[in-house]
Structure 1
Amino acid sequence: MHSHRSPHHVAQWVDPRTLCEEVLLPLETSPQGEARLLLTGLHACGDLSVALLRHFSSCPEVVALASVGCCYMKLSDPGGYPLSQWVAALPGYELSYRLREGACHALEEYAERLQKAGPGLRTHCYRAALETVIRHVQPKLRRPGVQGIPRVHELKIEEYVQRGLQRVGLDPQLPLNLAALQAHQAQENRVVAFFSLALLLAPLVETLILLDRLLFLQEQGEGGLQQGPRARGAGSWGSSFGSHISSL
């Protein structure tokens, strides 16, 4: 009878430049050439998914890969997309930051928010107004990360903008054009409609990204592959940049 060893789990930073031998270092107990690894990346943010794919295709000891990608807007350009030669040869293969960011959202979750028509939808309008103020004050500051501002629907639009300016390192006491902000707020329904229409493209964009990864692995000679959609709620897990290595 063959003795079955239980999997040996190792949490490790994964870098696309890491050599195969370095990936195997935490598994020193396995004789050289006998290690069989399963790379697992859950909510594998941005280029982490790409690093896992490259290790899977180049390291003989990595025999299986389970990767749930997220935060497509953080993919390096070039380097993170496209990966396959086939997609790179397509005319107009480029995906803008906005398209890749939209592909991270789950349509079913947003559909529920629309059906409830709650005040939380106001966030889109407030964030758009904040962006116009930021670009007026600091034109070179594009798409700054604004950490979540709690209970947005209870704030006046100028209060939200002041808190948002502080979160991106700008002076929250800057003089604001209240009339312009109120004009933005009057367009709230249009902003929600625009965001909803943009979100309809999310499955299409994500499909292209996932197919590109599948084609990349096929070009590397890998078979028996299965691709699935991104991690739900990827935005809240975007800072996760780790993976697990299991010895099978």
Structure 2
Amino acid sequence: MPKLQVHFLPSHVPAEDLAGSVVIVIDMLRASSTICQALASGATCVMPFLEIDDARSAAEQFDRAAIVLGGERHGRIIDGFDLGNSPLEYSPVAVAGRPLLFTTTNGTRALHHARMARRTLVGCALNRQAIADAAAAEPRVDILCAGTDGAITGEDILAAGAIADALVGDANAAGWELNAEAQSALDQWRSLLALAAATGRTPSDQFAVAMEQTPGGSNLLEIGHGIDLPACAELDILPIVPELNHKTGEIRPA
């Protein structure tokens, strides 16, 4: 029986416990969404870094015009970087044909936490169906939520539930075994779908509304990035499966 586990924070699961699994890392607002959009816009790869200085040091190994430096700390663009952490910034004009050196407050740390996984994928609403299809035949899948500043955040849980819904199917025909957190995320997502149907909203619109009340969403509203909520909430618009190669340190489409 295939097993699906959701972890609401990296601190909830030792890195060693992810060894041998396919791990889907989620940082809905906004690293996962931005990585997917950057690759879809033609970035040659995304190179995630834990610290700002690590990204800057790596950038010195390149012709500066040949790369893109992107990322944020506490939601805001980093001084001297080209782009922040909004997927809306990552157009083909901005990134096509160049590697993206990328560091964020939460998402790149979650990627590092999955360093012992057999495969590390990046998931969000934008590529929900593609990521579920990529993991459908795996015997074990762990969805790792990045959280916000070390705290559980609702948008990651809803995204985990959305991916779980696409993965296990309405009747759980494949017989997936879910841990308590996976079942909770799935239940919360299906409640959102029911609310969307009752209010006449699309699931994507209802997701954007729900994120206005989550810690990550509230933070973005406070710093004037509310436009990123509907941008990140769009379901199934990118048929891309970003995969991190821990040996090369590069994320490329699988």
User: Which of the pair is proportionally richer in helix?
Assistant: 1
User: Which of the pair is proportionally richer in strand?
Assistant: 2
TM-score band w.r.t. shorter chain: under 0.3
Structure having the higher Rg: 1
Q: What TM-score do the two structures reach when normalised by structure 1?
A: 0.22
Bigger relative CO (Cα 8 Å, ≥ 6 apart): 1
